[in-house]
């Protein structure tokens, strides 16, 4: 019943032991891993993984920085043509870490939101150093079924995102990052999801993350919310069904 709504199992960190990674995930009760592509190449890799492992559900994305030098129409056309093969669009969004072509990023993001509305798929959003602008765009477009992956905005922005209907996915690094602990305290469990962002955001510093660690997110949410682990699993799974399986 556990779900990892954001992972990158096509990355080179998993090329030598992916079978074992999948087995460990299944052993702790993971039933779904949404693997997120970031480009045409990795979207194709994600699709192939989903054919090999039934636990993997593909999400096709376009990483904001990569999008700046991509053939956007070709990328979006590929996503649309595969609308029946994917569970979501992501990861997509804005990334201002290097202050690269913000206005161009926004234009691309608007096109992606338009496509998501057209093919009726939820969005898994990357918002690094651009949280306020992402929320501005979501508000202006009235985008539906939006998940904020690894949202690092302050609590004012967290509340604003909640008010416009966003969901928040919580990574295992919550056990050592106060930001995610604070987020979980103020957001109702009915608006939370779980992710690993594998191979990143590990609960153990400098160790590769993997989907089996999703149980760490569940346990942390349960502890903060003061509810049983099994009940937490049910709530998160229900949230997953509401946004991804409509």
27 with 210: CB under 8 angstroms?
no
pTM of this prediction? 0.97
Residue 157 confidence (pLDDT): 98
Strand partners for 193: 169
Q: What is the CATH number of the domain that holds 206?
A: 3.20.20.140
Q: Compute mean pLDDT per 10 residues along the chain, 246 residues long, and list them.
A: 97 97 98 97 98 98 95 97 98 95 97 98 98 98 97 98 98 98 98 98 96 98 98 98 94
Residue 246 confidence (pLDDT): 77
- Structural domains of the chain, count: 1
Nearest 5°: the CA angle 188, 5, 3 is 80
């Amino acid at each position: 019943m556990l779900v990892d709504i954001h992972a990158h199992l096509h990355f080179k960190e998993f090329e030598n032991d992916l079978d074992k990674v999948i087995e460990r995930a299944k052993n702790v009760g993971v039933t779904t891993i949404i693997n997120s592509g970031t480009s045409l190449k990795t979207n194709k890799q994600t699709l192939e993984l989903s054919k090999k492992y039934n636990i993997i559900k593909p999400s096709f994305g376009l990483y904001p920085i990569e999008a700046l030098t991509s053939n956007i129409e070709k990328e979006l056309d590929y996503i649309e043509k595969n609308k029946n093969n994917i569970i979501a669009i992501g990861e997509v969004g804005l990334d201002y870490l290097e202050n690269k072509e913000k206005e161009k990023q926004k234009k691309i993001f608007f096109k992606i939101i338009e496509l998501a509305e057209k093919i009726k798929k939820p969005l898994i959003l990357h918002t690094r150093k651009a949280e306020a602008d992402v929320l501005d765009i979501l508000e202006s477009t009235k985008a539906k079924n939006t998940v904020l992956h690894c949202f690092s905005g302050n609590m004012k922005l967290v509340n604003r995102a909640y008010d416009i209907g966003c969901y928040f996915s919580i990574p295992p690094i919550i056990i050592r990052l106060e930001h995610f602990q604070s987020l979980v305290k103020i957001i109702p469990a009915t608006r939370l999801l779980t992710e690993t962002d594998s191979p990143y955001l590990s609960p153990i510093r400098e160790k590769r993350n993997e989907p089996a660690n999703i149980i760490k997110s569940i346990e942390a949410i349960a502890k903060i919310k003061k509810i049983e682990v099994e009940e937490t699993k049910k709530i998160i799974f229900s949230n997953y069904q509401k946004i991804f399986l409509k």
